[in-house]
Structure 1
Amino acid sequence: MFGAAAARLLRVFRGSLGHRAGMAACVWVEPGPKCLFDEPVRVRVGGLSPLQQVTLRAGLTDEKGEAFSSVALYRADERGELDLSRSPSLGGHYTGIEPMGLFWSLTPHTPFGRLVKRDVAASPLRVRIEVFDGHGGDPRELPERPLASCVNERWFMREGVTRIPVREGRVRGVLFVPPGDGPFPGIIDLYGSVGGVVEHRASLLASHGFLTLTLGYFGFDDLPKDFLNLDLEYFEEAVNFLRHHSKVKGPGVGAIGISKGGDLVLSMTTFIPHVTAAVSIGGCNANTLGNLHYKNMTLPGLGVSLDRIRFLESNLVDISEVTDNPKDEANKDSIIPLEKAEGHFLFVVGEDDKNWNTPLFAQQAVERLKENGKENYEILTYPEAGHLLEPCYFPFCSASFHRLVGLPVIWGGKIKPHSLAQIDLWPRIQIFLRKHLEKQSKL
């Protein structure tokens, strides 16, 4: 699918041409023009003059029509070549040797833009890479005609992955099944207050061998319109649907969630049998944003104080201080009793999270587990990373519209450390899930 053989032939052909004077500039990516979205590529430029100064620009347009671009300034070597795995950027959106810098530094042209990929099956995101003579500045003010260009197609589903809409009992979502007979570790994937069903992370997990159900729990199909009163039996039904799939390696399944989805996967692992591994990204150690019911128990939503919202310029708001401390006396009933869980937890913390106080919440979760003699956890903390830690190479989103607040909110983080955190985190998530799910024997 990704043209590795064609890329090898192209490299041989280029090599046979040599580097003669007047050779036209060219740019290409290796191992080929097509890859998974979360896979690195090697960007190379040839046919330049020795030590020529050039500007590289990357750009894409997502399904909403939102345009993203990045620029970096380079100098060719003595042979008129550039290799982004060895050549340092001298300026632009990043500096230094950053092989994938053009990708992770993609920036929206309009304020508060966030990359969206809804149709993961039919089409890739196409990143156009262009080379311009000289050192430019604004990516939108470069000449109309580049010296050279190419397109890198970044797909979300590996060849052979199957996408199956799910409407089974009460369960609503989309199932992604890896190619082959399996069995595969099973994962439930949850997002937060965005609602609906978000498919990009689940499809990438399936492309790496996880049978993944991205689960809707409000704002989708015939599900509730909000999450003010959720029942954990719904999530238990989804767990049982997944673990009884013929290709799932049981008896347990894993769960991954971000933001509100982060505290939901902690509750699932605590109360629902057979959830044996949970990844909570930017989550809370207490139930948030509404009541959670399970059998004869209710976890109330953690308290909030709207008077702690800070209004910034351009109608932008900071909600980092709005959520109460779970250890305040009024909120103790909201705390998830993690010590009851037999499964394993991975807490992921962006230390500059501006959605809520994730470092505090993770610290309290770990303290509670330690106090109860539990060692079933790992914690990953990333300085200068924000709330929205996505799979690697997703463009950094500093602020975007929050459906509950009704205004754009800041998410925290700085572009380079946040992006490098995503690159580090994504394989670690997969290692954690495999560690606790692949050694099981199905009953």
Structure 2
Amino acid sequence: MILPRAKLLASYWPVRLKAAIKLHGRLTGCIRGMAFSAQQADEPWITATPRVCLHDVPTTLKAGGLPPHSPVTLSASLIDEKGTEFCSCAYYVTDGAGNVDVRTAESVGGSYEGVFPAGLLTTLAPAPHEFQSHRLFRRNTSLPWKIQVSVLNAHQPPGTKAEVMAKVEMERLLMGPGVRRLPVREGRVRGALYLPPGDGPFPGIVDMFGSIGGLMEFRSALLASRGFASLSLAFFDYDDLPNTTENLDLSYFEEAVEVLLAVPEVIPDRCGAVANSRSGDILLSMATLLPAVKAVVGVSCSTIALGSTLIYKGKVFKQGYDMDQITFEKTNRGPWVGSLQQQFTTDNPAMIPVEEADEDTHFLLAVGGDDPWGFQHSLAPFRERMLSHNRHNFETVLYPGTGHIIEPPYNAFNYQSFHRHIPTKEHLTKGIIFQWGGKPHSTCTAQEDFWRRMRTFLMNHVQDESPWYQQYLTQYTPKTPPN
């Protein structure tokens, strides 16, 4: 693993952080100046406040200098790293002063309707000429999202090339000033470590996604921007790791925890873990088997071993449910689904024995009420299993109108996408378009709430309840700032 020493970090990164903050200040000043001068003009204008920010920060869009009580379109577009265009639009009618404020104005059509301040971001979807099942996510986390927002006359369809009356470019960062990304190749462990600016100590998190495979880093980048040391961990179809999930050695994840806790900037006596969907069985197994894992967050999390044989210390820990038994059905809109509802029972032998986790290990599970894969039905058996063993160290959240995918806020809503990895022997590498469910506004509201809830949960149980960290606080002496 490529990890610089603490002394080098102390000397290099504060300088980098000061430069970034100085640049951000200059940008903010320019933005305010442009907004002020634009609103004094008698021509159309649009502002974004803030224009440059972390991606989890809400942005307010305002437009003006337009004819009163007239139809206008607000249109958003971006190009991802693969050159795919995504766009969204909303139809508004200006007020008596010729203005539109997305915080209070109702969209009467387009990509969404009603008052939805984050609507243009949430409903970004492949442009009409693109493959409609592309999933929008940032692969290179050092690159900000650059989103062009335009004001168009009348009500225009998505992706239109109509004359632009006014425009503004939003920059939304995944990595805050001073956040560091360090590639990890330590023993068998493969991934990327994200560290906040400074020397720490920071609460450590192992961050995993599901059957999408490879390495998904955007959540770790945002977690580090909010004060967590986050190890974005790959476990298949990446570098020299296995190409399938047929057999999963839980010792690999134990090694990942050890790698994370050995980092000088990380609180060394405990960590948390976050996982989505297919990797939920890994997450809950870590909580059950690994004493250092004290807080786990499951997002649409499988509580049963799913399509894999879980092995720990040379023995079978859980034999996974055979995914070949799932019947995939094609929906009216075209994508496929396969419900696991019937498998989420307390007596399923594939269920992870979460009640065996240490009493000071805490669980937070969140699912969407409109998940076509049936993961919402995992919560009741999980609660029943815990309470039958007098365990109360858990929280569960069900978000109405939300589908299978729950991401950090203001990521584009993803109703369907092409999914290359299916955890079955027959279909593993063929790929298929899956439906994920949910509605844009409900999903955005859920993601805003869950992002706050998750960070509070992890900070409480990884940092604040750490005996090592409490001892550190009693001995900590703040550095005297230079004269």
Structure 1 CA distance for aligned equivalents of residues 305 and 268 of structure 2: 27
Is structure 2 residue 146 aligned with structure 1 residue 126? Answer: yes
Is structure 2 residue 452 aligned with structure 1 residue 435? Answer: no
Is structure 2 residue 344 aligned with structure 1 residue 319? Answer: no
| Superposition map of 1:13-412 within 5 A | 13-14=37-38, 17=40, 23-31=42-50, 33-109=51-127, 110-121=131-142, 123-136=143-156, 138-143=157-162, 145-295=163-313, 296-306=315-325, 308-312=327-331, 316-321=335-340, 325-327=343-345, 331-332=348-349, 334-342=350-358, 343-354=361-372, 356-402=373-419, 403-404=421-422, 405=427, 406-412=431-437
Structure 2 CA distance for aligned equivalents of residues 390 and 380 of structure 1: 15
TM-aligned CA distance change 1:307 to 1:373, over 3 Å: closer
Aligned length: 430
Q: What's the CA shift for 1:304?
A: 3.3
- Please give the per-residue CA displacement for 1:130-170, whole angstroms capped at 9, x wherever unaligned: 1011123x212351x21011111112100100010001111
Q: What's the CA shift for 1:12?
A: 4.0
- Please give the per-residue CA displacement for 1:304-350, whole angstroms capped at 9, x wherever unaligned: 354622134576322125x7515487x41x21110111210001111
CA contact under 8 A between 1:304 and 1:324: conserved in structure 2? no
Letter in structure 2 aligned against 1:358: F
- Aligned to 2:446, the other structure's residue is in SS state helix
Q: What's the CA shift for 1:297?
A: 4.2
Structure 2 CA distance for aligned equivalents of residues 290 and 134 of structure 1: 54
After TM superposition, the structure 1 stretch with the greater mean CA deviation from structure 2, 201-210 or 62-71, is 62-71
- Aligned to 1:251, the other structure's residue is in SS state coil
What TM-score results when the alignment is normalised by the length of structure 2? 0.85
- Aligned to 2:43, the other structure's residue is in SS state coil
Q: What's the CA shift for 1:116?
A: 2.7
Structure 1 CA distance for aligned equivalents of residues 325 and 332 of structure 2: 18
Structure 2 CA distance for aligned equivalents of residues 396 and 174 of structure 1: 25
Identify unmatched segments of 5+ residues in structure 1.
Answer: none
TM-aligned CA distance change 1:307 to 1:211, over 3 Å: closer
- Aligned to 1:9, the other structure's residue is in SS state helix
2:443 is aligned, of 412, 415, 418, to 418
- Please give the per-residue CA displacement for 1:5-56, whole angstroms capped at 9, x wherever unaligned: 22333344346x3x6xxx111112112x321122111111122122332111
Which residue pairs with 1:8 in the alignment?
Answer: 32
Identity of aligned residues (%): 37
Structure 1 CA distance for aligned equivalents of residues 325 and 83 of structure 2: 33
Letter in structure 2 aligned against 1:135: H
Structure 1 CA distance for aligned equivalents of residues 83 and 332 of structure 2: 25
Structure 2 CA distance for aligned equivalents of residues 280 and 177 of structure 1: 22
Structure 2 CA distance for aligned equivalents of residues 11 and 397 of structure 1: 32
Structure 1 runs of 4+ off > 6 angstroms?
A: none
Q: What's the CA shift for 1:63?
A: 1.4
Structure 1 CA distance for aligned equivalents of residues 89 and 357 of structure 2: 47
RMSD: 1.9
TM-aligned CA distance change 1:112 to 1:12, over 3 Å: closer
TM-aligned CA distance change 1:148 to 1:11, over 3 Å: closer
Structure 1 CA distance for aligned equivalents of residues 326 and 382 of structure 2: 27
- Aligned to 2:227, the other structure's residue is in SS state coil
Structure 2 CA distance for aligned equivalents of residues 351 and 80 of structure 1: 40
- Please give the per-residue CA displacement for 1:331-375, whole angstroms capped at 9, x wherever unaligned: 41x211101112100011111112x32122121111100000000
Letter in structure 2 aligned against 1:8: R
Structure 2 CA distance for aligned equivalents of residues 313 and 14 of structure 1: 47
Structure 1 CA distance for aligned equivalents of residues 192 and 168 of structure 2: 33
Identify unmatched segments of 5+ residues in structure 2.
Answer: 1-22, 470-483
CA contact under 8 A between 1:302 and 1:324: conserved in structure 2? no
Structure 1 CA distance for aligned equivalents of residues 189 and 203 of structure 2: 19
Q: What's the CA shift for 1:257?
A: 0.4
CA contact under 8 A between 1:46 and 1:81: conserved in structure 2? yes
Structure 2 CA distance for aligned equivalents of residues 53 and 395 of structure 1: 26
- Please give the per-residue CA displacement for 1:166-215, whole angstroms capped at 9, x wherever unaligned: 01111110000100121111000001111111111110111111100000
Letter in structure 2 aligned against 1:409: F
- Aligned to 1:362, the other structure's residue is in SS state helix
- Aligned to 1:347, the other structure's residue is in SS state strand
TM-aligned CA distance change 1:275 to 1:81, over 3 Å: same
- Aligned to 2:164, the other structure's residue is in SS state coil
Letter in structure 2 aligned against 1:127: I
CA contact under 8 A between 2:345 and 2:378: conserved in structure 1? no
Q: What's the CA shift for 1:376?
A: 0.6
Letter in structure 2 aligned against 1:262: G
Structure 1 CA distance for aligned equivalents of residues 418 and 406 of structure 2: 17
After TM superposition, the structure 1 stretch with the greater mean CA deviation from structure 2, 301-310 or 241-250, is 301-310
CA contact under 8 A between 2:151 and 2:165: conserved in structure 1? yes
